[in-house]
Structure 1
Amino acid sequence: MDRFQEMQIFMAVAEEEGFAAAARRLNISPPSVTRAIAAMEERIGTQLLSRTTRSLHLTEAGQRYLEDCRRILSDIDEAEEAAAGSYSIPCGHLTVTASVLFGELFIAPLLADYVDQFPSVHINALLVDRVVNMADEGIDVAIRIGHLHESNQHAIKVGEVRQVICGTPDYFERNGRPRHPGELSTANIVMSSASHLLSDWQFVNDGNALSFRFEPRLVVTANQAAINIARLGWGVTRVLSYQVANQVAAGELELVLEDFEPPALPIQVVYLKSTRIPAKIHTFVDFLADRLGKDSALKAVVKGCN
């Protein structure tokens, strides 16, 4: 087994946090993974992985070696892609990330259209409700909602969304429509722990920022679950406007406190800065920018109509 194969196995073990999981990912036998790691540690002369019966962790040397492996293998991939013409022809594997609900509603349908248009590209979509480190996790393109702070990224704005409070018309008929954010303290509130909107709810009143920390009666782990509970007429929730655009348009949910909403958040297609951008990345970015930019659900211009 050559050293490049060993590096790939080591990366898989580190990222999957287990020998068996790495073997499944690479489609090789667990003993082969064990032998490869043992051979690496013997040749290098240091322990890369700390093993117990229940867990596996990188040692300090292993962490440094993992970073070097990622850099070396990335350089090899780039050299091979350049030789194969991938900087002019879209081809190879493309890794994309987005939040779960946004990915399911807007990105997943577009992935099928893109690969039909560019059959030499294979896409892996990582849909998670966390901010993924693009460099560390090998992400080519990310769809972000909110303002960016990294200086090593290019970003193209494709839309914007509002932070909205919603409930059913029936719930508001029974309990009254709040006229000020402070009145939500007596409401039945369901929150999603997957949302960055969970803890402090920000509002604006006559240009002044308002912040409230409400005690939810229900906390769930998914945005869609919070929306489903609100649709039952149990209470109110705070979500991003795209997440309930269809329900609001159908009259199932009603928005309240719109005059107190903070500024809309940008939706951006993001990729890492580089002197050379592979064709698979720039064609996918252009494709998303065109398709998402035309979606009315991602335009937060008129309150109550997005």
Structure 2
Amino acid sequence: MDQIHLMNVFVSVGEGKSFAAAARRLDLSPAAVTRAISGLEDQLGVELLLRTTRNVRLTEAGTRYLDDCRGILASIADANEAAAAVNSELKGNLSVAASDAFGKDFIMPCIVKFLNRYPEVEVSAYFLDRVVNLVEEGMDVAVRIGHQPDSSLKALRVGQVRPVLCASPGYLARNGLPLHPADLLRHTMIAASGVSPRVEWKFGAQDDPTVVRIKPRLTITSSEAAIDAAVAGLGICRLLSCQVGNEVGDGRLQLILANYEEAPLPVYVLHRGNKFGASKVRKFIDLLVEHLRTHASLNAGQAMQERKHELICA
């Protein structure tokens, strides 16, 4: 049997955990799907699926093979698109993933520019406060903050951000300026989920950090709402430097405990790195990388670095 056909059938069954659903999805008879899976298992000499009367489950070998098949099929699709005229004309859909606030502030301007430049392309933007699996969820490009584990993805570093503590000048005037992380225990704290979800906040060097167990008075899932609360004078919040650049720049928020900041976090553009990648993906990555690498909030952070030393005053 054709190997690509067998892989397509296996991926459909493995993803849907159902022979019947795979048959409907591929417009095949259930018997044809069963024959394809049996033929593939015979060819490989290993059991890929565990069948019962009620469900279908992947074996350990099947789980690994499913990931491999997805990558191979995606490579084939990219190669086909690269060879087709539609590829050179930059048509079709492009999917992009990033965290919610970062996506809106940093990725959307690039998406708008890209769509204006290439009118035959559609973009699906997923701004979610969770890690998106590019392969499993079929994404073309993702932007992530933080050190990335080893994987098959290609990572292009485009800048860095810093976890920072900030509060409004009015709050600090009323409650005093913390000079050491331990002083935070006497202050009202705002915790933004996704940025500072842990109750313990670490400061300083990674190999010898200062750890403070805080009890937030306000815990909120939106970093934008946390910024609003801090600007309104409720308390001290921990966010990323790129998120509060405007508020610090115009004086609505003030950085504190800058000497105790953790090491900066790298920002990466991730993609599958297939050498046959579609032109629309390559063009978007080029535009996005240029956009982010020249963004003042992500590279060197000169303005905030200069201001932070001015704002640390005893």
Q: How does the TM-score come out when normalised to structure 1? A: 0.76
SS at match of 2:268: strand
User: Partner of 1:253 in structure 2?
Assistant: 253
C-alpha change, 1:71 and 1:277, in structure 2 (3 Å) is closer
Q: Residues of 1 paired with 2:297 and 2:7: CA distance?
A: 46
Structure 1 residue aligned with 2:58, among 57, 60, 70? Answer: 60
The 8 Å contact of residues 6 and 36 in structure 1, kept in 2 or not, is answered as: no
Shift of 1:224: 1.6
Q: Name the aligned partner's letter for residue 80 of structure 1.
A: N
User: Partner of 2:42 in structure 1?
Assistant: none
- Could you say what the CA RMSD is over the residues aligned between the two structures, in angstroms? 3.7
User: Partner of 2:278 in structure 1?
Assistant: 278
| Uncovered stretches (5+) of structure 2, i.e. residues with no partner | 39-48, 309-314
Give per-residue Cα distances to partners, 1:66-123, cap 9 Å, x unaligned. 6587457535533431331466553332111111000011111221110111223221
Q: Name the aligned partner's letter for residue 113 of structure 1.
A: K
Shift of 1:143: 0.8
Q: Residues of 2 paired with 1:49 and 1:204: CA distance?
A: 54
C-alpha change, 1:231 and 1:87, in structure 2 (3 Å) is same
C-alpha change, 1:185 and 1:86, in structure 2 (3 Å) is farther
The 8 Å contact of residues 167 and 233 in structure 1, kept in 2 or not, is answered as: yes
C-alpha change, 1:304 and 1:217, in structure 2 (3 Å) is farther
Are 1:138 and 2:116 counterparts?
A: no
The 8 Å contact of residues 48 and 58 in structure 1, kept in 2 or not, is answered as: yes
C-alpha change, 1:162 and 1:148, in structure 2 (3 Å) is same
User: Partner of 1:234 in structure 2?
Assistant: 234
User: Partner of 1:244 in structure 2?
Assistant: 244
User: Partner of 1:164 in structure 2?
Assistant: 164
The 8 Å contact of residues 94 and 281 in structure 1, kept in 2 or not, is answered as: yes
User: Partner of 1:303 in structure 2?
Assistant: 305
Q: Name the aligned partner's letter for residue 59 of structure 1.
A: R
Q: Name the aligned partner's letter for residue 303 of structure 1.
A: Q
Shift of 1:239: 0.2
Larger radius of gyration: 2
User: Partner of 1:97 in structure 2?
Assistant: 97
The 8 Å contact of residues 129 and 194 in structure 1, kept in 2 or not, is answered as: yes
C-alpha change, 1:86 and 1:263, in structure 2 (3 Å) is farther
C-alpha change, 1:275 and 1:109, in structure 2 (3 Å) is closer
Matches of residues 1-306 of structure 1 in structure 2 within 5 Å? 59-60=57-58, 70=70, 74-75=74-75, 77-85=77-85, 88-195=88-195, 198-204=198-204, 208-299=208-299, 300-301=301-302, 302-303=304-305, 305=307
C-alpha change, 1:304 and 1:171, in structure 2 (3 Å) is farther
The 8 Å contact of residues 129 and 195 in structure 1, kept in 2 or not, is answered as: no
The 8 Å contact of residues 78 and 277 in structure 2, kept in 1 or not, is answered as: no
Shift of 1:256: 0.5
Q: Name the aligned partner's letter for residue 160 of structure 1.
A: Q
C-alpha change, 1:93 and 1:240, in structure 2 (3 Å) is same
Q: Residues of 2 paired with 1:191 and 1:157: CA distance?
A: 28
SS at match of 1:298: coil
Q: How does the TM-score come out when normalised to structure 2? A: 0.75
Q: Residues of 2 paired with 1:145 and 1:259: CA distance?
A: 22
* Identical positions, percent: 35
Shift of 1:156: 2.1
The 8 Å contact of residues 6 and 37 in structure 1, kept in 2 or not, is answered as: no
SS at match of 2:305: coil
Q: Name the aligned partner's letter for residue 202 of structure 2.
A: Q
Q: Residues of 1 paired with 2:151 and 2:50: CA distance?
A: 35
Q: How many residues end up aligned between the 2 structures?
A: 285
Q: Name the aligned partner's letter for residue 164 of structure 2.
A: V
